[in-house]
Amino acid sequence: MSVESSHPSHQSFFLRNCLKFSFLEFISISFLGLKSFIYDAPRFVKKINTFANSAGHTYRFSKNDIYIIGSVHAIATVLTKSTPFPQNSVQISSVDNACAVYSAITMVDAWIDSGNKTLEYKKKYIQLVHDYLIFNSIETASGISLLDSHKILLLYAREKLYGRQGWPVFSRDFSRLVSAGNKEFSSDNPQTCLRAALLIGAYSAAAIYNSIFIDFQPAKNRKIKIDIMLLGSIMNIIDDIFDYSDDIKSHRKTFVTESPTIYDGQDMGYRRCISLWNQLAKMKFQKQKLAMQNTMAIWWLRNQFNSGDFKFSELLQISRSEK
C-alpha cells in the first residue's frame, strides 16, 4: 500500500465548512473534559472497584485503566453539553452509567484487536458481551470466556440500566452495535469498511446517549438522538482517518487501509464526513449545532496532534471558519 498525505480538496473543505473552532468554546470543552478526566475518572474507578468487591470479583481496576476510563468519562460528559437538555437534568450517576457501558466497548474493542484473534473468536466474544449485558448470560462459547474487567463493567451497567424506561431502546441499539461490529470484522473493501465504521460510531454514540438519558421519553428526543449518532459516525470516521498506521500493524481492515492508497482512503472518509455534516447542519438548535462543530473540531485537532503532524495553519483554518 502506498502511504501518501490526504487529498487537499475534501480535507480542506471539511475543515473550512464543517468545523467551527471557537477558542472560548475550546477552553470550555477542554476544561470540562479535563475536569472529568482528573477528578471523575479516579472516583469512578473507586466506585467500580467497590462494586466488583460486592459482586464477588477479585479483579480490581488500577491507575493504568484511568487513561481509557478517563477519556471515556470525558467524552460522555462533553456529550451532555451537545444536547439542548437542561444540564441540571443530567446527574453524575447518569454519566457514570454511560462510562461503564462505553469503557466496556472500548476495552473489548482493544482486546479483540490485540494479538492474532481469529474472525470466529471476535464474533463469539462480542456475542458473549452482548448476551452478558442484555440477558445476564454467563455461559462461555467454545472455551471462550469474558475477561473479568469486561464482566465487571457490563454487570455494573446492567444493574444500573436494566428495567429503566429506556432499557428496551438501549438493548435494541446495543444489539445493533454488535451487529455493526460483525460487519466490520468481515468487511474487505473500502465501501463496506466505511459503512461499518459509520454504523459503529453511530450506535456507540447511541449507547452513551441511551445510558445518560435512560429515563427520558425516547419518542420526544428522537431527533436529538439521531444528531448525536451522526456526530458519533463522524468522530469514528475521523479516528480511522488518523489511525491507519496502528491499523496496518494490527492487520485491522478499515476504509483507509483497504483503499489503493492512504491518500484515497482518507479522501473517501472526509467526503463521507462532509455528507454526514450536511445532514447535521439542519439541526434545529443553533447552540447544539455550535457545540457539535466545536466538539468535532477538538476531536480532529486531538487526532492531528497525536499523529505528530499538527500544523498551526490548519488550526487557523478551523478557527476562522464561519457559517
112 in a structural domain: yes
* Residues contacting residue 166 through CB under 8 Å, at least 6 positions apart: 210, 213, 214, 215, 216, 218
In-domain check, residue 121: yes
pTM summary value: 0.88
Residue 46 has a pLDDT of: 94
The three cell numbers of residue 20 are: 467551527
115 domain residue, yes or no:
yes
What are φ and ψ of residue 179, in 5° steps? -60, -40
Please write the tens of the pLDDT for every residue from 156-180.
999 999 999 899 999 999 999 999 9
Return phi, psi of residue 145, to 5°. -135, 155
What's the mean pLDDT when you consider all of the chain? 85
Distance between CA 183 and CA 177 in Å, rounded? 10
Encode pLDDT of 181-206 as tens digits.
999 988 889 999 999 999 999 999 99
Asked if residue 210 belongs to a domain, the reply is: yes
Predicted local confidence at residue 1, as pLDDT: 46
Structural domain for 205, as ranges: 8-319
2 within domain boundaries: no
Please report, for the domain that includes residue 218, its CATH number: 1.10.600.10
3 lies in a domain?
A: no
- Of the candidates 206, 139, 212, 152, which has an alpha carbon nearest to the alpha carbon of residue 179? 206
Confidence of residue 323 (pLDDT cuts 50, 70, 90): very low
Beta bridge partners of 154: none
What is the total count of domains within the chain? 1
**Residues 259, 113: Cα–Cα separation, whole Å:** 20
Reduce the secondary structure of 31-84 to three states and give it as a string.
Answer: HHHHHHHHHHHHHHHHHHHHHHHHCCCCCCCCHHHHHHHHHHHHHHHHHHHCCC
What's the pLDDT tens digit per position in 59-76? Answer: 999 878 887 888 888 888
Query: Residue 1 falls within a domain, yes or no?
Result: no
- The answer to the question of residue 40 being in a domain is yes
